[in-house]
Amino acid sequence: MRRSPAFETFRYAAIALALALTLLPILWMVSMAFKPIPEWSATGADLTWIPRAPTLDNFRFVFGESTSDLIVALERTAWRPILSSLLSAVFGTVIAMGCGTAAAYGLSRFGSGKNLPLALIQLRLFPPMAVMIPIMIMWAFLGLIDTWWGLALIYGIVTLPFAFWLMKTFFDEMPREIEEAALVEGCSRFRVFMKITLPMMRAPLASSALLVFILNWSDYLIALLLTTKNWVTIPVYMASLSSSMTGQLYGAKAALGLLAAIPPVILGIAIQKHLVRGLTFGALKQ
């Protein structure tokens, strides 16, 4: 059925509107990151989309350099929060994907009972604050408060259900005949998993790992409750950026937000050849 030109025009206009609404906050953040203090603290008619005098002062400021008489240099620079976010998010993703993939494969191939998969997602069914109170007590007892490995461990636990459910869906859609043929030829189950199954799961693994990494990287509540000073993450550090002279440091926050967007973007570009295939794995059946 051929669509009318009016319908096509409306369709493209709707797509353009949705794209504009999606990109406007990003464009505003990029613009704010390069504005000097008088521009990003302006109000009303003085606000502009394009910086009149672009500057890198906001980036220098978050890394410890005083760039104005109105704002003194920060006591805590962005170096440690960036390192904390990287370590906790990366190792949290490794923990979640490692445990989640193994559990998903085992349950997909050998599991019995319908309640076990639901039990793994119960952690996500409770209100976050109700779960975090006992976790804070346990982490304090174990000496894991304000440590990046404590954050990485809880990130791995919290995002484990996502990794499990995603990978289980992919394993369920994978033909078992390939594995059975290898078993008949004498391969052990572990060798089949390592040499045949995992290589075939590269695309689903990449797309699942990206989702889990973004969840860990953008977390605020857990890092706020489990860190105090030494190992705060980027979201927690960003919320603390303020000045008694100028109030909220929107330019510095925009600069840090722009820097925080780099790792997920780089990871997405690095796995883009697997990303679309992983997201659509199993969508079509013969």
What are the pLDDT digits (tens) for 193-202?
A: 888 888 888 8
Reduced to 3 states (helix: H, G, I; strand: E, B; else coil), residue 139 is helix
Reported as a single tens digit per residue, the pLDDT across 129-146 is 788 888 899 999 999 999
CA atoms 185, 189, 194, 196: torsion sign: positive
Question: Bridge-partner residues for 248, per DSSP?
Answer: 242
Are 165 and 117 in contact by the 8 Å Cβ rule? The answer is: yes
Reported as half-sphere exposure (CB side, CA atoms, 13 A), residue 142 has a value of: 16
- Residue 226: which of 159, 143, 122, 127 has the closest Cα? 143
* 173 C-beta neighbours (distance < 10 Å), count: 14
Cβ–Cβ < 8 Å for 258, 30: yes
Phi, psi at residue 232, to the nearest 5°?
-65, 150
Q: What is the pLDDT of residues 193-232, one digit of tens each?
A: 888 888 888 888 888 899 899 999 999 999 999 998 889 9
Name beta bridge partners: 247: 243
**CB 254, CB 58: distance < 8 Å:** yes
The predicted structure's pLDDT at residue 235: 92
d(CA 35, CA 57): 8
* The dihedral formed by the CA atoms of 237, 239, 244 and 249, expressed in degrees to the nearest 10: 90
Residue 188: predicted pLDDT: 84
Crossing angle for the helix pair 5-33 and 250-260, to the nearest 10 degrees: 120
Q: Which residues, given as ranges, of the chain have pLDDT below 70?
A: 1-2, 41-46, 65-75, 112-114, 243-247, 274-286
The pLDDT of residue 70 is 47
